[in-house]
Structure 1
Amino acid sequence: MAEPWFEQSIAVGLVRLAALQLPGTPPDAQTAAACRAVWVDALWYGRVWIEAVDTARLETAFRLLSGRVTRWPAPAQLLEVLPMREPMQALPKSVRSDEARAQAMVSISELMLKLKAGA
């Protein structure tokens, strides 16, 4: 089941598209609600969405989509224009000294010897 923020993002985007009154737009509130449920399910299933990152991406995708389509779109068309996530920052380099790394290797070697002796 999708998280509320995701459902809200999809609902707002679909209202934006509905305002265009494109051919194929859901004709009434009941059909629009069913359409929204299908969109949420189709887009949520099998993907990882992160509110802090993806809310803006979804908003941008709906904006791009509404400027390109001439008929009511399918969820797959939203995915085609969904911007890529910004790359995550790399972890900082280790601050261990060469001496500390060497000591860690000695400790690992000693542990391996103890494990072999106990086997």
Structure 2
Amino acid sequence: METNWIHDEILDGLSQLLCLSLDRTPAADMIAGTAMGWHRAITDERVWDQQLDTPRFRKAFTNLMKGRRMWPSPADFMEAMPPREQLALTKQPIKANPERAQRAAAELAEFLGGRQH
């Protein structure tokens, strides 16, 4: 299973939630099955990246543990998940290449000259 890491994160997070004894907590012997259901719900038609998303999964479970009194659903988990970190864009000037600019100008002139026929 390509998404074993997701199943492991879900099982770990649900096991931690289990310890909180929230309202409507499933029986301990149901956690493995619950994790399988969550895995299916969370991975259906979604693409996850282990490096980018593992911290997000962990933070989502932490958010659920901090703010829930009732056992959450996979939808609650998705709402608790923070957005992916975005790489910061920096303004870095790109040095001009005069030779490339001349070639592009010549190609453009040739193209425009060829269209006038």
Instruction: Classify the TM-score, shorter chain.
Output: 0.7 to 0.9
Q: Deviations over 1:13-51 (max 9, x none)?
A: 11111111112212142x221110010111112222111
Q: For residue 75 of structure 1, what is the amino acid of its counterpart? A: P
Q: Does the CA contact (< 8 Å) of 2:22 and 2:70 recur in 1?
A: yes
Q: Does the CA contact (< 8 Å) of 1:61 and 1:78 recur in 2?
A: yes
Q: For residue 15 of structure 2, what is the amino acid of its counterpart? A: V
Matched, 1:14 2:11: no
Q: Does the CA contact (< 8 Å) of 1:23 and 1:71 recur in 2?
A: yes
Q: Does the CA contact (< 8 Å) of 1:2 and 1:44 recur in 2?
A: no
- CA 1:89–1:24 in 2, change beyond 3 Å: closer, same or farther? same
- Structure 2 residue runs without a partner (length 5+): none
**1:87-102 matches, cutoff 5 A:** 87-90=86-89, 93=92, 95-102=94-101
State the shift of 1:107 in Å: 6.5
Quote the Cα distance in structure 2 between the aligned partners of 1:107 and 1:10.
Answer: 59
Q: Does the CA contact (< 8 Å) of 1:9 and 1:58 recur in 2?
A: yes
Count of residues in correspondence between the two structures: 114
Q: Does the CA contact (< 8 Å) of 1:25 and 1:72 recur in 2?
A: yes
Scaled by the length of structure 1, what TM-score is found?
0.77
Measured on the aligned residues, the alpha-carbon RMSD in Å equals: 2.7
- Structure 1 residue runs without a partner (length 5+): none
The secondary structure found in structure 1 opposite 2:67 is coil
State the shift of 1:94 in Å: 6.8
Scaled by the length of structure 2, what TM-score is found?
0.78
Who is 1:39 aligned against?
Answer: 38
The secondary structure found in structure 2 opposite 1:40 is helix
Quote the Cα distance in structure 1 between the aligned partners of 2:91 and 2:107.
Answer: 23
